[in-house]
Chains A and B, each alone.
Chain A
Amino acid sequence: MSSYYAIIGSSLVCPSISSDWNACIPASMKRRDPRIWHIAYAAAHKVITETNVNPVSIIAATALGALDETKNFLDTVFDTGFGNPRHFIASVHNSMAGKIALELKITGPNITVCEGQNSLASAISLLDSLDPSAFPALIVLIDEHIGLLDNLHPSFSPLCKDYLNTEWVDGAFAVIVDSKANSHVSHIRASAAVPRIGSITSAIDMIKNTLADNEDALPSVNLCKSSYLEPGIAAHSAINDLNVNRSLIGSYAPASDSVAIIDIIRRQ
């Protein structure tokens, strides 16, 4: 498990839930930029504004990246014979993090993590690779759902149906953390992604055991194995629910057949 990092604040942007989520998007961005950049920007803008803290670095997390832009670029190639440059630029996995850095002038280290459902955990655990001068750090989990995914579902072979029979929620979760354990009450840490051994739950247990805490004091694991945003939704909920002292969020990624765990603790 990584070290604990102090949580300064968090935000959650789910377009399907809040219709005014994009009120903060500047007009210049609205015209040209893809929806996934808007969502990422909105989450980052929200947490920065609400905490009044300017992060130095960004670790972004995304399972599928800018899927719509990848599709759009391939469409222009296959349908018209001419690839559209704007779609290509937006299609690289780190374009969201680059856009946030550009708009909000964040000039420190900028890393994007792609770990399927384990992306948030993997990103948090990589906080260990940042120097003290790179904090406060902004972590943003972003994944989008596009219509094409619904079209593909019926085509999937039966092996995949379990993890696809879920409600796809898209959006972004953002959290600002500091390396100094200080007056902030909530702290977060996570494991790297680990290849599954045994069933999902036994693999999660295996990681949970590395917490080396008093076993009885640990809560049960909230296991996320469906939409990519689920760990972020669970984390935001745990951070903002004052009745929750400790939350263990497990994740399972079918594509890489691996697990990870996030640990959020509220110190008294």
Chain B
Amino acid sequence: MAMPVYIAGIGAISAGGPDVPCGFDSVCQGIDNIRPFTRFATGLNVTPLCAVVNSDIESIFPGTFRSLTLALIAAEEAMSALTDKTGIRLGIIGATTVGGISVTERIYEQFKKDPSALIDSKDLAIHEPSVISAELCRHFGGCGFHTISTACSTGLHAVGIAKRLIENGTYDACLAVGTDALSLLTIRGFASLTLLDSNGCRPFDKRRAGISLGEGAGAMLLANDKVLRQCNIKASAKVSGWGASSDAFHMTAPHPEGDGAARAMNYAITEADIRPQAIDLVVTHGTATPDNDKTEIRALRSLVPQLPPFCSMKRTLGHTLAASGILEAVFTVKLLEKNLIPPTPGFEQIDEEIGAAPSSELSSRPLHHVLKNSFGFGGNNASVLFSKVE
């Protein structure tokens, strides 16, 4: 049996608020944070509804671009638990879809208007997603970093990878950070796929018609026993299983039977060495696209026919793309700690094709194992099981 990997620290900045307590409160109250997006002109006829980070963050880390600022804020919150770094090998796993694309968009638009204008090399460098992880590594004194990008499943894969690299002794502690800021590329991109619901996302609802984008960052500091003892951390949860798979079915649509998703979930459960029926709650990917919600529950049913309680945080946080898996995982860990099942805002009417309703109100029950799913473009599936430290 591999050594346990604990969650030593968590951090988050989202539409729910600038830290974990605010965001968690927003999730538990089922707050609807979806609003018409006004930060910049999108060029769309219908103003998209998005969940934005409202806090004034520009001045906190001067000279950084938005995705990096969000990442640093969440990371600082998670890293506050690491009070004594002596002899601790720290790794960084950065997860982002667009990274600094907001800068790329701007300089490309300028370039099209005036190809002779000078472009700052620093601006162009920001196009590489790894600048985020590199900055995190320098900021926190890490000894190595990796940057991954698998669209919506990235953040959760980062948690799984961090787990493995601690288990095999590469690092004692590993900080996984997922971040994505809203950009013209993603807003116009999802609009071109007709995947933005003009009513705001309605997870698992019969009338659901697409997603609502969001922005934010989630950070999780995973660590081994030695780190916990050295920093006197009492961890309430551990990462007990990680599953990763590919549908190999279609570049955007999920496999209709949820085949790949089921394999990923099954892998996480098997690694955790629990029966599927022992899952107390599933925090779904639940993006509210007609396909995702249907196939996700189909996949879940194939493993647990009686279906455990399940919820979606997408109406509260928006779909934060690469950040979503880890941002929602942060709140999943809080739910596990507090024995709470949150409501699923945006859901009203049951879809007979799904044949099940998500949680509709905040409730309390003993939670021992909670499963978090994240599914990305190209049929890329991630599933992580979090277990309470008993």
Nearest A residue to B94, CB-CB:
A114
Residue among B121, B149, B193 making CB contact with A157, cutoff 8 Å:
B121
Complex Cα gap A104–B246 (Å): 12
Most B CB contacts (10 A, CB to CB) among A83, A114, A159 go to A114
Nearest B residue to A256, CB-CB:
B134
**A3 → chain B, closest Cβ, in Å?**
8
With contact pairs A102-B249, A111-B157 given, residues A157 and B119 touching in the complex (Cβ less than 8 Å): yes
A212 within 8 Å of B by Cβ? no
B62 within 8 Å of A by Cβ? no
B354 within 8 Å of A by Cβ? no
Residue among B108, B147, B191 making CB contact with A114, cutoff 8 Å:
B147
* Contact B246–A83 (Cβ < 8 Å): no
With contact pairs A98-B378, A194-B144 given, residues A257 and B188 touching in the complex (Cβ less than 8 Å): no
With contact pairs A70-B185, A156-B124, A193-B144 given, residues A110 and B165 touching in the complex (Cβ less than 8 Å): no
* Contact B129–A93 (Cβ < 8 Å): yes
| B160 contact set on A, CB distance < 8 A | 129
* Contact A155–B149 (Cβ < 8 Å): no
With contact pairs A85-B192, A98-B378 given, residues A112 and B150 touching in the complex (Cβ less than 8 Å): yes
A101 within 8 Å of B by Cβ? yes
Complex Cα gap A95–B151 (Å): 9
* Contact B134–A109 (Cβ < 8 Å): no
Complex Cα gap A170–B121 (Å): 21
| A109 contact set on B, CB distance < 8 A | 244-246
Complex Cα gap A155–B190 (Å): 32
Please tell me the size bucket of the interface on A: 35 or more
A106 within 8 Å of B by Cβ? yes
Residue among A97, A98, A116 making CB contact with B130, cutoff 8 Å:
A116
With contact pairs A77-B184, A102-B251 given, residues A110 and B150 touching in the complex (Cβ less than 8 Å): yes
With contact pairs A74-B185, A157-B120 given, residues A195 and B377 touching in the complex (Cβ less than 8 Å): no
Complex Cα gap A112–B115 (Å): 32
Contact code string A61-86 (vs B, CB < 8 Å = 1, else 0): 00111000011011001100111110
B59 within 8 Å of A by Cβ? no
B1 within 8 Å of A by Cβ? no
B338 within 8 Å of A by Cβ? no
**B65 → chain A, closest Cβ, in Å?**
13
| A159 contact set on B, CB distance < 8 A | 121-122
Most A CB contacts (10 A, CB to CB) among B117, B143, B146 go to B146
With contact pairs A77-B43, A78-B109 given, residues A128 and B168 touching in the complex (Cβ less than 8 Å): yes
Residue among B108, B165, B192 making CB contact with A83, cutoff 8 Å:
B192
Interface-located stretch among A15-23, A38-46, A118-126, A218-226: A118-126
| A253 contact set on B, CB distance < 8 A | 128, 130
* Contact B147–A113 (Cβ < 8 Å): yes
Nearest B residue to A152, CB-CB:
B119
B189 within 8 Å of A by Cβ? yes
* Contact A74–B146 (Cβ < 8 Å): no
A160 within 8 Å of B by Cβ? yes
Q: Which residues of B are at the interface with A, using a C-beta cutoff of 8 A?
A: 43, 91, 97, 99, 101, 104-105, 108-109, 111-112, 115-122, 124-131, 133-134, 137-138, 142-151, 157, 160-161, 164-165, 168, 170, 184-185, 188-193, 244-252, 260, 263, 376-380
Closest 3 CB pairs of A and B: A98-B378, A192-B144, A160-B121
